[in-house]
Amino acid sequence: MRKLIIAALVFILTLVGAVRLSPEIAADVLLGVYHWTAGLEQKKIQTEFGDVSYLEGGQGTPIVFLHGVFARKEHWINMVGHMEQGNRVILLDLPGFGENNMLPISSYKYGAQVDHVKSVLDGLQLATFHIVGSSMGAQIATEIARDWPDRVISLALIGSPTGVDTPQKTPFQQQRLANQANLVVTDRASYDARNALLFPQKPYVPWAVEYVWFQSEISRAAHNQQVWDVIQNSNVAPIQNIAPQLNQPVLVLWCDTDQIYHFSGLAVLLDQFPNAAGHLMQNCGHVPMLDQSKQTAQLYDQFKSNL
């Protein structure tokens, strides 16, 4: 026990020193511990468009998680940690996002993104799987479910999906329609403003990890602006138009204080999906898997247990 305590103290002191000398090293250590304690292993798969990073853990029928624009695979970890055992979870950094290398701008059109994710899933040899998406990832997941009805067992949209024509509009939606709003981070002020839009209360992130992620976004700011423009101008069918084509079970979770897309869109989707369950969550924003990770996991587990 004494040796264990000494080892822990040495680790803590080493980490404190690393934070002071190199936030990048400290972030790598902290994320490694975070992944390990969640029972997840960091992996990469080689593709024709570069290596794609992902986290994987557990056994059973695979569940694939797709994050939103400018987000990361780590955003799913808290939710996954609250889910029941018996799942094989695969948390992707979408090609061109997160730890992955930037891609040519044309690769961020929805059609190209769908093709890239399909290529990754083929490379992982997933014959059948559940798929979960958030925001932009929800659009991609829905298109994959439409294209692969025999492989996608179920679809879950966690938080408001992008592009739904909601009867009521948030101020962000109104500004976006006038091309006066985006989620690109260019400096500390725009970073704080985006967090205020996404979260009722920003989730805790260790300083070193947040610093590295923030600096990564700043370094990609010009690229990300082009990415945002390409995505917004993609010629893609909105989810409510795709929904009637899907026969798989669908779960839609939307938050009542989402400032990105108004929660009135929930009823629109439930009316269009032939086989859907929905829940309007309280006290959360655009990403309930971060705001209300335990409740989100419980609602997903309940949905999946009824399949």
Residue span of the structural domain in which 270 resides: 23-305
What three-state secondary structure class fits 113? Answer: helix
Residue 18 domain flag: no
CA–CA gap between residue 39 and residue 95 (Å, rounded): 23
CATH number of 185's domain = 3.40.50.1820
Give pLDDT, residue 181: 82
Residue 11 domain flag: no
Instruction: State which amino acid sits at residue 273.
Output: F
Instruction: State which amino acid sits at residue 188.
Output: R
Give pLDDT, residue 13: 39
What three-state secondary structure class fits 136? Answer: helix
- Tens digits of pLDDT across the chain (307 residues): 444 443 443 345 344 544 555 888 888 888 888 899 999 999 999 999 999 999 999 999 999 999 999 999 999 999 999 999 889 999 999 999 999 999 999 999 999 999 999 999 999 999 999 999 999 999 999 999 999 999 999 999 999 999 899 999 999 999 988 888 889 999 999 999 999 999 999 999 988 889 999 999 999 999 999 999 999 988 899 999 999 999 999 999 999 999 999 999 999 999 999 999 999 999 999 999 999 999 999 999 999 999 9
Give pLDDT, residue 158: 98
Give pLDDT, residue 119: 98
Give pLDDT, residue 163: 84
Give pLDDT, residue 21: 53
Give pLDDT, residue 23: 82
Residue 264 domain flag: yes
pTM above 0.75, yes or no: yes
Beta strands in 108-185 (DSSP E): 129-133, 152-158
Residue 14 domain flag: no
Whether 142 and 267 have beta carbons less than 8 Å apart is answered as no
Residue 216 domain flag: yes
User: How many domains, the chain?
Assistant: 1
Burial class (CB within 10 angstroms; exposed 0-12, middle 13-18, buried 19+) of 160: buried
Residue 119 domain flag: yes
Residue 255 domain flag: yes
Q: State phi, psi for 22 to the nearest 5 degrees.
A: -150, 100
CA dihedral 285, 120, 237, 245 (to 10 degrees): -100
Residue 6 domain flag: no
Give pLDDT, residue 7: 42
